[in-house]
Each structure stands twice: as structure tokens, then as C-alpha cells.
């Protein structure tokens, strides 16, 4: 931009002459003049990030109204297709076919974050290092007791996200190598959001579930998978495989306030500041 | 990029050579030929400055006095007409009708002799500036290496600002002198929160990506880790006495917590299970807090239905941001909701005594007109404080509030508000390219304009970053 600024100054000088050059810098559209309404819906994993960005963006652009909600990833591109949201927050690239979901035609995917996902267990569970095969057995219902995987003699409670969750899509694809979940049983329950999952794992002894790393609290344990801990460092160095990109989906290329908001979320300032603070990983960290 | 930059520079040069405004014909004692004095604009340390120039034998010479003023040097003329210019340990002596200049006692030659016209001395600008340690390139003078850009800034005191810029995978924070733009690196970080200045202006605090909290002494640059607690900490706020930090805790900012800088102990002040609080403000005595709550729209979606049916509905009724107030001495986890209207709201300021909050209310219609509103801490008396112009930004400076507002077609206005009386005073107008207004505790004003930091000095905006 520097050359452009100088060019503009030079052009200004050439046009009006030196003696009357004003003290102000070249005019440009001020951020305070940006207006519009942005409706965002979809992934509950991405909601804290979206709301943090919205709060910061509104201070720079007070005339932009932003509404953000979450009911599972698939409802993001659905809401965009239906025309009731400008941005669909989703934990997979919904412009492409993925197992369980067809692509959303005409929608453009914008990467906004890298989301590490973790298998999590209640604090009373002692088996905190599981292999892919053990995870497949547990989430398919074939392994029913913690003692079968080196833990105490206690029945395993499996907590799953409902169909349409991006966290579920990623966990099934990357932690379970695509194998199927159990769908019913006395020791099986489904929850709608990441927040519900957090509550369930924290309060249910012998429970196992999964969530994005940002939601993990000290009231639960994040499970090592094949001996690798779910950490930012292990995602970046390629050792930990259970992660995905978070996307903002738009109907065609975004314009106006929506375009500027996505640019803000993708900006170096936000990616390396607030986004990292919320325990997401910047998209630039994955080479 | 280089080609475009060169093109821009050449355009400045062309403009300079073409400009001959306010010609003055003068005759000097030494030279009886008429000489035309022009006024030309130079870019001096990122600021446009008008400098007198003459053409002498096809060579452009610039006024020594004007250049001296522009770069902040001092000028003295001896009885023998020797011009003495001093800048940061360098003393440069020169004389009209002479090709010799003397820098710190060492002589060197000019290509073109200095010339006196109308009692002013003119000299080749490149030789003059370079002798004083600066650089000169096609009418651009640089004697101070300015920081490239400014993404965020805050006043430290009347002479310094804290400026942040993205750098690589992280951020760099600098202390920048308001007078001349000189800067020094304070912190290089990645994943760190914004640096938050202590009330006495002597320290900053921040949390890193792991939630650990640090302070930095601005005089010694010494960093001290205060806490190893790894919870997510948003919106650090110093207590007035500098003994503790308040913040919103957790990924959903649901808890208001306090960290003692004395022993690193964390205490929870409010845990009401309400998520997504923001814009935390704390009273001077640290007992009262105000904040926004961002409520999410209700989404109805049946996951058992075919995805292609798009069976999803969003009901945003009643989800406008609302302001809450909590007296922590009550310890009942029952904050008071101060607003219930449908206007959008942005910026928040809690009075030092906690008696009221001020905020910018943005109308719910498409016009989105902003006005400054004040409401008491019981939520009963809401008063428009400033509705004359569309309000863009609310900033605190000392005991007063400042507004950036709409003004003319290409300008914004800065108003000072006495929150006690509600009276407003126009402080200055500024280009509408302003993206952020900054006011110090002493009412010094700066602004981010087109990505450059400018300070208001003697009624004029002066860039102190590139």
C-alpha cells in the first residue's frame, strides 16, 4: 500500500499545486462508514471465535450489526442456502462432497481457523492413551468396559454429537478412520452442541466424547491418541492427525460488510492474536 | 512493487519541477539577478511540508531554514553570516556563496554553492540532509527512521505511545515518541493479548496463548510472570491501584475474575453461568463492573430431516447486546440489566465511581445512526448525552469522554464530552479516513489515519509512523 499512498500524494500534488496541499493524508473509505448486517450460523466449535471477532470488528465498524448463532455445522451452509444467513460457519469444506453430506452448490469456502479435536474423558477415567483401534471399538459400542483398554472395571458411557455436527464429521473421519458410530444403547447419548458435550463429559463418570481442543477444561482429560497428545505443537508438527479447518461459507463471493468481516478474521492481527488466545491454530501455521 | 514505487516518486519529482506557486522575485546584495522563489512540497519524515526552493543554474536549492524547521533541528546565524545547524550531536556550518560545508569541524565540498536570496540561504537539499545523517531521495527527506505502519496504538503518557503491528507469525509492540516518531521495540510475541497500560502508565500487562499473565516495567523493559493459570483470559483491566487485574475468563467469557499481582491468586467475582460477556469495565475502587452480554439467536433445526430440505430457522428476537452492572460486594451473582432496548450497542465506559455507564447506541434501522447515551447503575435513568451527529467511536481521556463523529462530506469531528454536565465541545476536525481515535489522560489526541499514526500537534496532524 505504501507505493499507492505515495502515488496518491504525488497525484494530489500534481493536480492542486504545492502551495495549497492540505495537511490531511489522501482520502480513503473510512472503516467507520462500513455498514450492514451480518448473520452467521453454524458450528458451535467456531462460535467463540466468531463472537470474539465480531466484538472486535464492531469497534472498528460500529455501523455493522452482527448476529452469531450455533446449532451444528450443517445448519451453517443450510442457512446460507436458504438465504437466512450471510455466513455459514462449518467444520468442513461444504463446497465439496464429504462422507455423509453432499456439497452445497454455489457456496464459497473461506478458511478461518485450524481446529484441533480431542477425545475427552471424565476425570475419573484412568485410560487416557488410546489407539485408533481402541477408539473405533469404544465409539462403535464393541468395547464396553474401561478395563478392556487398561482402565478400571467400569462401563463406558459414550457421548456423541448429533448428525450434522462438524466436530462429529472430523472425529469420525480422522480419529476413527471413517468407521461408524454406535447409534443407541443404555450407555449411549447424543448432544447437540460443543457446550452440551462439555457439560456431559464434566458431569458423567466414565464418559468419553470428543470436542475441539478449545473447549477442553481442567474438569476433564484429553486423551492421547496412539501416544500423541492433542496439542497445538503436535498438530503443527504433523504428529497429531485429528484436526480440521474451520470455514466460513458464503453464497458466491462475499461483498460489503460480510467480505470485510471475513478479511478481519483472516487477518494476521486476529489470527495471531485473539484466535490463538482462544486456542485455535492460525491457518498459516499449517504448511 | 518497486516499479510502482519508483513511478510514485518520479511523479512527486515531476510535480516539484512543475510547481511554481507564489513566485517571489528578489534581488540579493551578492547577486543582482532576479531569482524566483517557489514553494515546493517535500515529504519530510512522512509529513508533507512546504519548503521554499529556487532554481540556480539548473539546480534546485532549498531553504536551509525551512529544512531545519522541518526536521526539528536548530538554526543559528553567526555575526559573520555563517549558518550553524545542529541536530543530535551534529553541528553543520555553511555560508552563502560558498561550496564548503563543515560538519563537526570536518570540511567537505558541495557540488553547487549555497546561495542567499531575500536574506535566506538556499542549499542543495541532498547534501544538507545527508550531512546531518538523514537520507534524501527525490524530495523525500528522512532524518528519523519511522515505524512502518500502526495497527493499534494507545497513549502511554503525553510524550509516548504504545504501537502494535503484526509481524510474521505474531506481533511487535513499540514505544513511539510523540514528538518525532522515534521508536524502540518493547515486545515481540505470538498469541499474546493486547498490552494493557497500568493506571500510572509505568507498566503493561498481557496474557499469552497459554493464559499465563505477564507484566512489563516500561522503564526497565523487565518482564515478570504473574500467573501460570492456563484459563483463557479476555479483556484484562487494571485495578486503579495497580494491585490486580480483572478479566473475563474462559472461551465463552462467562466468568469475571480477578488476579492479584501480589500473590498471583485468582478469585471469581461473578459466575452467573451467562456466556459471552464483553467490554468489561471496572470502577476505580474495583468493586463495581459493567459489561455487555451478547445473546445468541435461537436456531431451530431438525437433524433427522433430509439436509437438502434446509429445515433451519433463526429467531434473533431479543438478542440485541445489553448492558449489565454488578456490585461485587453483593456477592450474590445477580447482576442488574441496565438496558433492554433493541438498539445495537458498542463501546462502554463505566464512570470512575460506578454510578453510571456511557455507550454508543446505534439505531436498529438501516441508517444505523450512533448517539452517546448514559444510563445510571440501576438502569432507570437513560439520558442521550450527544445526538447532534452520527457517533462512530467513544474514547476516554482522563476524566472526560471523547467522540469521533460524522462531520462534513470528507471530514470527521472530534468532540469532548463532559459526562457530568453532558456539555460537548468541538475539539478538532479530521479527515474521514480516521479509523481510530486515541486520547491520553492529559487530553493529547492522536489518530490512526490510513494505517499511519498521527498526533495532533499545535492544531495540525503530524504523522509519526510511515
pLDDT at position B375 is 96
Cell 532549498 belongs to B62
Residue B378 in this model has a pLDDT that exceeds 60: yes
pLDDT at position B12 is 42
Average pLDDT over residues A109-125: 97
Residue B18 in this model has a pLDDT that exceeds 60: no
Per the structure, the count of domains in chain B is 1
Residues A70, B1: C-beta atoms closer than 8 Å:
no
C-alpha span between B342 and A161 (Å, rounded)? 34
pLDDT at position A30 is 58
A109 — phi, psi (to 5°)? Answer: -95, 130
Residue A3 in this model has a pLDDT that exceeds 60: no
pLDDT at position A164 is 84
Of A268, A177, A210, the residue nearest B189 (C-alpha): A268
Confidence of residue A193 (pLDDT cuts 50, 70, 90): confident
- Give the ipTM: 0.81
Q: Which residues of B touch A84 (CB under 8 A)?
A: 312-314
Task: Using alpha carbons, list the distances in angstroms from residue A171 to A123, A179, A236, B227.
Answer: 21, 10, 18, 34
Question: Does residue B8 lie within any of the structural domains?
Answer: yes
Three-state secondary structure of B41-84: EEEECCEEEEEEEEEECCEEEEEHHHHHHHHCCEEEECCCCCEE
Tens digits of per-residue pLDDT, B216-256? 999 999 999 999 888 889 999 999 999 999 999 988 899 99
Residue A240 near residue A230 (C-beta atoms within 8 A):
yes
Note the CATH architecture for domain A116-236: 3-Layer(aba) Sandwich (3.40)
Residues A279, B209: C-beta atoms closer than 8 Å:
yes
Q: Is the pTM of this model over 0.80?
A: yes
pLDDT at position B33 is 54
Q: Which residues of A touch B391 (CB under 8 A)?
A: 62
Question: Does residue B434 lie within any of the structural domains?
Answer: no
Question: Does residue B213 lie within any of the structural domains?
Answer: no
pLDDT at position B228 is 87
C-alpha span between B369 and B349 (Å, rounded)? 19
Taking every pair of Cα atoms in chain B, the longest distance, rounded to a whole number of angstroms, is 97
Question: Does residue B402 lie within any of the structural domains?
Answer: no
Question: Does residue B50 lie within any of the structural domains?
Answer: yes
Chain A, window 60-79: residues with a beta carbon less than 8 angstroms from a chain B beta carbon: 60, 62-63, 65, 67-72, 74-75, 78-79
Of the partner residues A6, A18, A84, the one whose CB lies closest to the CB of residue B41:
A18
CATH 3.10.310.30 fits A36-114+244-285, yes or no: no
Average pLDDT over residues A86-94: 96
Q: Where are the domains of chain A?
A: 36-114+244-285, 116-236
Question: Does residue B444 lie within any of the structural domains?
Answer: no
**Cα B346–chain centre separation:** 19
Tens digits of per-residue pLDDT, A8-39? 333 333 333 333 222 222 223 454 678 999 99
**Beta pairing, strands B213-217 & B244-249:** unpaired
**Beta pairing, strands B370-376 & B356-362:** antiparallel
DSSP string of chain A, one letter each residue: -HHHHHHHHHHHHHHH-GGG--SSPPP---GGG--EEEEEEE-SSSHHHHHHHHHHHHHH-TTEEEEEEES-TTHHHHHHHHTS-SEEEESS-TTS-BTTB---TTEEEEEEEEEEEEEEEETT----EE-HHHHHHHHHTS--BGGGGTS-S-BPEEEEEPTT-HHHHHHHHHTSTTPPPP---TTEEEESSHHHHHHHHHHSTTEEEEEEGGG--TTEEEPEETTB---HHHHHTT----EEEEEEEEESS--HHHHHHHHHHHSHHHHHTHHHHTT-B-GGG--
Confidence of residue A4 (pLDDT cuts 50, 70, 90): very low
Average pLDDT over residues B300-307: 88
Question: Does residue B62 lie within any of the structural domains?
Answer: yes
Residue A147 in this model has a pLDDT that exceeds 70: yes
What SS3 class is residue B334? coil
Q: Which residues of B touch A79 (CB under 8 A)?
A: 310, 312, 314
pLDDT at position A32 is 61
**Structural domain containing residue B61:** 2-142
Tens digits of per-residue pLDDT, B118-161? 999 999 999 999 999 999 988 999 998 899 999 999 999 999 99
Report yes or no: B392 at the A interface, CB cutoff 8 Å. yes
Residue B70 in this model has a pLDDT that exceeds 70: yes
Confidence of residue A215 (pLDDT cuts 50, 70, 90): confident
* Backbone angle region of B273, left / alpha / beta, with phi > 0 → left and psi within -120 to 50 → alpha: left
What SS3 class is residue B123? strand
Burial class (CB in 10 A: 0-12, 13-18, 19+), A235: buried
pLDDT at position B458 is 85
User: Positive or negative CA dihedral for B420, B424, B425, B431?
Assistant: positive
Question: Does residue B52 lie within any of the structural domains?
Answer: yes
C-alpha span between B246 and B259 (Å, rounded)? 6
Residue B221 near residue B256 (C-beta atoms within 8 A):
no
Q: In this predicted structure, which of A86-90, B211-215, B286-290, B458-462 has the lowest mean pLDDT?
A: B458-462
Report yes or no: B451 at the A interface, CB cutoff 8 Å. yes
Tens digits of per-residue pLDDT, B20-48? 444 444 444 444 457 899 999 999 998 88
Residue A89 near residue A113 (C-beta atoms within 8 A):
no
Residues B251, A39: C-beta atoms closer than 8 Å:
no
pLDDT at position B209 is 86
Average pLDDT over residues A172-188: 93
Q: CA A239, A244, A245, A251: dihedral to nearest 10 degrees?
A: 160
Residue A163 in this model has a pLDDT that exceeds 90: no
Residue A142 near residue A48 (C-beta atoms within 8 A):
no
* Backbone angle region of B360, left / alpha / beta, with phi > 0 → left and psi within -120 to 50 → alpha: beta
> Which H or E run contains B201?
none
Same fold, A36-114+244-285 and A116-236: yes
User: Positive or negative CA dihedral for B396, B399, B400, B401?
Assistant: positive
> What does the mean pLDDT of chain B come to?
90
Q: Which residues of B touch A58 (CB under 8 A)?
A: 346
- What CATH number does residue B73 fall under? 3.30.457.10
Task: Give the bridge partners for B233, in sequence order.
Answer: B249
pLDDT at position B231 is 87
Amino acid at each position: 500500500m505504501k507505493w499507492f499512498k505515495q502515488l496518491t500524494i504525488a497525484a494530489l500534488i500534481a493536480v492542486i499545486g504545492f502551495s495549497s496541499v492540505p495537511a490531511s493524508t489522501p482520502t480513503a473509505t473510512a472503516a467507520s462508514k462500513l455498514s450492514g448486517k451480518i448473520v452467521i450460523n453454524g458450528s458451535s466449535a467456531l462460535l467463540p471465535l466468531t463472537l470474539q471477532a465480531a466484538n472486535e470488528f464492531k469497534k472498528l465498524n460500529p455501523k455493522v450489526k452482527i448476529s452469531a448463532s450455533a446449532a451444528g455445522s450443517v445448519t451453517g451452509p443450510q442457512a446460507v442456502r436458504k438465504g437466512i444467513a450471510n455466513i455459514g460457519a462449518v467444520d468442513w469444506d461444504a463446497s465439496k462432497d464429504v462422507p455423509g453430506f453432499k456439497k452445497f452448490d454455489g457456496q464459497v469456502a473461506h478458511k478461518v481457523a485450524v481446529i484441533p479435536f480431542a477425545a475427552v474423558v471424565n476425570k475419573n477415567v484412568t485410560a487416557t492413551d488410546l489407539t485408533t483401534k481402541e477408539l473405533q471399538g469404544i465409539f462403535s459400542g464393541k468395547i464396553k468396559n474401561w478395563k478392556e483398554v487398561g482402565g478400571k472395571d467400569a462401563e463406558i458411557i459414550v457421548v456423541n454429537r448429533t448428525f450434522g455436527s462438524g466436530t462429529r464429521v472430523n472425529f469420525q473421519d480422522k480419529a476413527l478412520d471413517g468407521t461408524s458410530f454406535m447409534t443407541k444403547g443404555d450407555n449411549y447419548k447424543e448432544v447437540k452442541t460443543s457446550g452440551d458435550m462439555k457439560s456431559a463429559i464434566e458431569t458423567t463418570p466414565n464418559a468419553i466424547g470428543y470436542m475441539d481442543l478449545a473447549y477442553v477444561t481442567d474438569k476433564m482429560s484429553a486423551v492421547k491418541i496412539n501416544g500423541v497428545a492433542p496439542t497445538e505443537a503436535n498438530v503443527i508438527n504433523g504428529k497429531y492427525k485429528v484436526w480440521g479447518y474451520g470455514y466460513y461459507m458464503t453464497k458466491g463471493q462475499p461483498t460489503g460488510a460480510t467480505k470485510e468481516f471475513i478479511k478481519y478474521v483472516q487477518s494476521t492481527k486476529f489470527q495471531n492474536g485473539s484466535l490463538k488466545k482462544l486456542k485455535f491454530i492460525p491457518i498459516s501455521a499449517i504448511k | 512493487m518497486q516499479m510502482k514505487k519508483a513511478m510514485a516518486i518520479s511523479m512527486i519529482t515531476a510535480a516539484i519541477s512543475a510547481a511554481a506557486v507564489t513566485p517571489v522575485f528578489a534581488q540579493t546584495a551578492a547577486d543582482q539577478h532576479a531569482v524566483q522563489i517557489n514553494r515546493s512540497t517535500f515529504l519530510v519524515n512522512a509529513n508533507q511540508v512546504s519548503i521554499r526552493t529556487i532554481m540556480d543554474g539548473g539546480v534546485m536549492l532549498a531553504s536551509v531554514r525551512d529544512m531545519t524547521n522541518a526536521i526539528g533541528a536548530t538554526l543559528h546565524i553567526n555575526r559573520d553570516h555563517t549558518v550553524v545547524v545542529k541536530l543530535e550531536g551534529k553541528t553543520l556550518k555553511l555560508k552563502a556563496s560558498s561550496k564548503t560545508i563543515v560538519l563537526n569541524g570536518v570540511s567537505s565540498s558541495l557540488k553547487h554553492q549555497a546561495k542567499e536570496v531575500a536574506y535566506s540561504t538556499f542549499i542543495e537539499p541532498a547534501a544538507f540532509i545527508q550531512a546531518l545523517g538523514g537520507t534524501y531521495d527525490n524530495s523525500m527527506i528522512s532524518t528519523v527512521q519511522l515505524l512502518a505502519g500502526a495497527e493499534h496504538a494507545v497513549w502511554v503518557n503525553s510524550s509516548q505511545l504504545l504501537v502494535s503491528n503484526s509481524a510474521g507469525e505474531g506481533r511487535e509492540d513499540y514505544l513511539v515518541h510523540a514528538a518525532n516518531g522515534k521508536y524502540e521495540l518493547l515486545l515481540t510475541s505470538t498469541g499474546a493479548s493486547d498490552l494493557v497500560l497500568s493506571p500510572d502508565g509505568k507498566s503493561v500487562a498481557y496474557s499469552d496463548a497459554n493464559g499465563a499473565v505477564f507484566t512489563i516495567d516500561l522503564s526497565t523493559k523487565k518482564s515478570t510472570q504473574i500467573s501460570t493459570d492456563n484459563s483463557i483470559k479476555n479483556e484484562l483491566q487494571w485495578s486503579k491501584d495497580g494491585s490486580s487485574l480483572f478479566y473475563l475468563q474462559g472461551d465463552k467469557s462467562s466468568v469475571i475474575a480477578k488476579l492479584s499481582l501480589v500473590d498471583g491468586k485468582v478469585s471469581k467475582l461473578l459466575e452467573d453461568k451467562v456466556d459471552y460477556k464483553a467490554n468489561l469495565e471496572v470502577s476505580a475502587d474495583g468493586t463495581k463492573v459493567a459489561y455487555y452480554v451478547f445473546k445468541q439467536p435461537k436456531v431451530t433445526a431438525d437433524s433427522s430431516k433430509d439436509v437438502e430440505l434446509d429445515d433451519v430457522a433463526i429467531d434473533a428476537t431479543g438478542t440485541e447486546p445489553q448492558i449489565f452492572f454488578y456490585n461485587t460486594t453483593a456477592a450474590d451473582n445477580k447482576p442488574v440489566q441496565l438496558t433492554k432496548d433493541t438498539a445495537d450497542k458498542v463501546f462502554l465506559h463505566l464512570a470512575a465511581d460506578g454510578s453510571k455507564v456511557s455507550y454508543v447506541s446505534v439505531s436498529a434501522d438501516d441508517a444505523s445512526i450512533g448517539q452517546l447515551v448514559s444510563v445510571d447503575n440501576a438502569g432507570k435513568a437513560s439520558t442521550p448525552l450527544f445526538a447532534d451527529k452520527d457517533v462512530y467511536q467513544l474514547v476516554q481521556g482522563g476524566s472526560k469522554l471523547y467522540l469521533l463523529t460524522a462531520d462534513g462530506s470528507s471530514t470527521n469531528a472530534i468532540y469532548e464530552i463532559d459526562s457530568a454536565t453532558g456539555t460537548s465541545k468541538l475539539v478538532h476536525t479530521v479527515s474521514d479516513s480516521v479509523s481510530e481515535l486515541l486520547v491520553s489522560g492529559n487530553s493529547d489526541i492522536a489518530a490512526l489515519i490510513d494505517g499511519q499514526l498521527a498526533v495532533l500537534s499545535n492544531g495540525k496532524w503530524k504523522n509519526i509512523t510511515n
